[in-house]
């Protein structure tokens, strides 16, 4: 409700999004960036180190259902982990107004 404010966005892995989204939308949320590196539930749980988080891959559809204006999925591509899922991401989002951005994994190990 600040004058001149056009966008309120959140970046999330989607784990708590279903629970928080209605309140965030009431607060003016109109853009969501979802960090989603895999559509495979077991891999997702490995990444976020939390059990029972497989539903997060459905977060983009949930967001569209409540009419949030903009949705972007960021996918970090990692050799040997998820590079075989690139076409799955394309298929998952091809009929939805969601942009998918594939980001190169950059290790910082020295």
**E runs forming strands in the chain:** 9-12, 31-35, 70-77, 99-104
Band of residue 59 on the pLDDT scale cut at 50, 70, 90:
low
> What is the four-CA torsion angle of 25, 9, 63, 13, rounded to 10 degrees?
-120
Share of the chain above pLDDT 70, in %: 82
- Mean pLDDT along residues 70-75: 86
pLDDT at 47 over 90: no
Can you state the percent helix, strand and coil of the chain, rounding each to 5? 35, 20, 40
Query: What pLDDT score does 108 carry?
Result: 80
pLDDT: which is higher, 70 or 24: 24
Predicted TM-score (pTM) of the model is 0.76
DSSP 8-state assignment for residue 64: H
Query: What pLDDT score does 107 carry?
Result: 77
pLDDT at 9 over 70: yes
Phi, psi of 24, deg, nearest 5: -65, -40
Whether 68 and 25 have beta carbons less than 8 Å apart is answered as yes
């Amino acid at each position: 409700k600040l004058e001149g404010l056009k966008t309120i966005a959140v970046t999330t892995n989607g784990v708590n999004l279903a629970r928080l989204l209605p309140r965030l939308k009431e607060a003016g949320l109109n853009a969501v960036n979802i960090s989603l590196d895999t559509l495979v539930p077991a891999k997702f749980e490995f990444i976020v180190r939390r059990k029972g988080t497989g539903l997060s891959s459905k977060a983009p559809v949930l967001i569209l259902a409540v009419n949030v204006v903009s949705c972007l999925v960021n996918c970090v591509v990692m050799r040997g982990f998820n590079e075989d899922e690139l076409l799955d991401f394309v298929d998952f989002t091809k009929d939805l107004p969601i942009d998918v951005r594939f980001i190169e994994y950059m290790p910082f190990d020295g």
